[in-house]
């Protein structure tokens, strides 16, 4: 028989997870309820969704975006908002095929409209082809192209908001990476507002949950899948920061939350100076850019 410390604080059933702030132990049903209630509170507090919104989830098929689709599928009807999904197929052999299958089967099961945008269609080649000779820059190149492909997906499905599966760990890693790169403008920039005619506002409803909580949520709802890792992932600064931050969080609990507070404070201090500044349009593709040629055209060598 489980000891009193291992019982759910709400119903007395055996607990499966222990959470802090406030300290509580929860059984499977109450853990799921707790996670969804925290996301619902964040959606309301940060006014992320309004009636009539058409929210598109950037669905990679991995754990975070799978959890995001599952949670929003339950919560969005309450806001009178629609849910759709878009998956970017970068063309990464041995990795993307399986996650794409997972994304298709989940959207079919939930009855969610699903669009797929491929790098090959948009940029003339798969990521594998575009990276030949510069494999070490995998994530840097992919990140720029993915953002453009997601913007294209948003247009295709007529969405008014783009929801991404970034969790607390991802957000804290980004803060630390921006500090390590000395990139203050990026640290304080806010993408939640969008740019009329170019980008819709971005929302990150799972930023209140840790990666561990997301994995637990998926396991308890029966949706956890062990999927392959992207072969380019290890080349990024992010993977070193992830390891370092996980260790710091373990030794000094609350480190990630404090990093988020630091970023929010930096954003408030920067105030209007943090806004994107004056943007022009790329002379090649017409998309917004701060220079003469956007990063996508630069990376694809269209400016030469």
Distance of CA 126 to the CA centre of its chain: 22
Cβ proximity to ligand SF4, 83 vs 162, nearer residue: 162
Write down the least CB distance from residue 10 to ligand SF4, Å: 38
List the structure tokens of 95.
């990795």
- Partnered with residue 203 across adjacent β-strands are 163
Rounded to the nearest whole angstrom, what is the least distance from the CB of residue 136 to ligand SF4 in the complex?
11
CB of 127 to ligand SF4, least distance (A): 7
CB 299 within 8 A of CB 141: yes
Between 48 and 103, CB nearer to ligand SF4: 103
Least distance in Å: CB of 199 to ligand SF4?
19
Alpha helices in the chain (DSSP H): 28-45, 63-75, 96-110, 119-123, 127-130, 138-157, 168-181, 184-188, 211-221, 237-251, 255-270, 295-299
Residue reference for tokens 């996670």: 35
Point out which residues pair with 281 in neighbouring strands.
288
State the nearest-atom distance from the C-beta of 90 to ligand SF4, in Å.
Answer: 6
Of residues 91 and 205, the one with the C-beta less far from ligand SF4: 91
| 15 vs 88 by CB, closer to ligand SF4 | 88
Task: Kindly report each contact of residues 102-105 with a partner whose C-beta sits within 8 Å and lies 24 or more positions away, as own/partner.
Answer: 102/61, 102/66, 102/225, 102/227, 103/59, 103/60, 103/61, 103/65
Closest approach, Cβ 146 to ligand SF4, in A, equals 6
Which of 53/128 has CB closer to ligand SF4?
128
Q: Are 233 and 139 in contact (CB under 8 A)?
A: yes
For ligand SF4, give the closer residue by CB, 142 or 200: 142
d(CA 87, CA 115): 6
**SS3 assignment, position 91:** coil
> Could you list the residues that contact ligand SF4 (CB under 6 A)?
90, 138-139, 142-143, 230, 232-233
């Amino acid at each position: 028989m489980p000891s009193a410390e291992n019982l759910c604080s709400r119903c007395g059933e055996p607990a499966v997870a222990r959470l802090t702030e406030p300290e509580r132990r929860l059984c499977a049903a109450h853990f799921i309820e707790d996670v969804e209630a925290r996301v619902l509170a964040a959606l309301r507090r940060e006014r992320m969704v309004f009636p009539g919104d058409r929210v598109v989830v950037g669905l990679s098929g991995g754990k975070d975006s799978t959890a995001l689709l599952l949670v929003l599928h339950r919560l969005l009807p309450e806001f009178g908002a629609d849910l759709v999904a878009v998956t970017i197929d970068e063309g990464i052999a041995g990795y993307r095929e399986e996650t794409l299958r997972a994304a298709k089967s989940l959207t079919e099961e939930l009855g969610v409209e699903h669009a797929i945008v491929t790098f090959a269609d948009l940029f003339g080649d798969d990521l594998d082809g575009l990276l030949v000779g510069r494999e070490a820059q995998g994530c840097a190149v992919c990140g720029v192209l993915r953002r453009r492909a997601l913007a294209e997906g948003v247009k295709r499905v007529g969405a008014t908001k783009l929801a991404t599966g970034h969790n607390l760990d991802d957000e804290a890693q980004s803060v630390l990476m921006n500090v390590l790169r000395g990139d203050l403008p990026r640290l304080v920039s806010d993408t939640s507002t969008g740019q009329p005619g170019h980008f819709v506002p971005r929302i990150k409803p799972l930023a209140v949950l840790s990666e561990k909580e997301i994995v637990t949520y998926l396991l308890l709802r029966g949706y956890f899948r062990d999927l392959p890792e992207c072969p380019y992932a290890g080349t990024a600064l992010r993977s070193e920061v992830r390891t370092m931050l996980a260790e710091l969080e373990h030794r000094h609990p609350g480190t990630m939350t404090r990093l988020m507070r630091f970023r929010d404070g930096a954003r408030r201090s920067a105030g209007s100076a943090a806004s994107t500044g004056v943007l022009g349009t790329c002379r090649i593709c017409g998309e917004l850019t701060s220079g003469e040629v956007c990063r996508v055209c630069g990376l694809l060598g269209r400016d030469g």
